[in-house]
Amino acid sequence: MEEVAKAWLAGLVDGEGTITIARNKMKGRNKDLFRPILCITNSSLELLQCCKTTTDLGEIYKQKKQTSHHRQVYRWRVSDGKAVSIVIEIKPYLIAKRRQAEIVCNLSELKGDRGEEAYKTRTSLWEEAKRANHSLTDYQKLPHTSKSEGGVQGRNASRGRARHIMAIKRF
């Protein structure tokens, strides 16, 4: 992937995406399966098709509408090693989701490790990813205004956009 594409995708992931770890209960096994996930949800199918084309990875799913007056939304999703490969490429450009990217990369380093200690570490990383993702949605911690006034204010809100724009301008 070209550097400009990495910066573009990182900006999209920071604003619209999720980097996390899914925990799946496996029938007949006493231990769960932990899978890295990268996804972007958006009402623009064309935008998500660009993500898929740019990376040559992932699938696009049509989400069920919550109510009739909501727009139709779609989700581009990549999992497992493919998600990790994308995260590694865009990680230098991430701002808001950098911590989640580090957690997913740490999980990938455990691939192939068996035993109780590795399982405990995977569980701990899953819990850390959950906390990191929940802390981003806590609006009480953010300086903000109403949506009609432009949303989040302050220099930190524009810093993230400026970093992505500067990265794109360099290339």
Residue-wise pLDDT tens digits, 20-78 = 999 998 777 778 899 999 999 999 999 999 999 999 999 999 988 777 788 899 999 99
pTM: 0.75
pLDDT for residue 27: 79
Rounded average pLDDT over 101-125: 90
For 58, other C-beta atoms within 10 Å of its C-beta total 20
- The gap from C-alpha 52 to its chain's centroid, in whole angstroms, comes to 14
> How many other β-carbons are positioned within 10 Å of the β-carbon of residue 93?
20
Closest CA to 133 of 28, 22, 27, 47: 22
Q: What is the pLDDT of residue 162?
A: 53
Cα–Cα nearest to 10, from 170, 168, 169, 171: 168
Entry field: residues in the chain: 171
Please check whether residue 7 is in contact with residue 164, taking contact to mean a CB–CB distance below 8 angstroms: yes
Domains, the chain, with CATH or none? 3-132 (3.10.28.10)
* CA distance linking residue 43 with residue 36, whole number of Å: 24
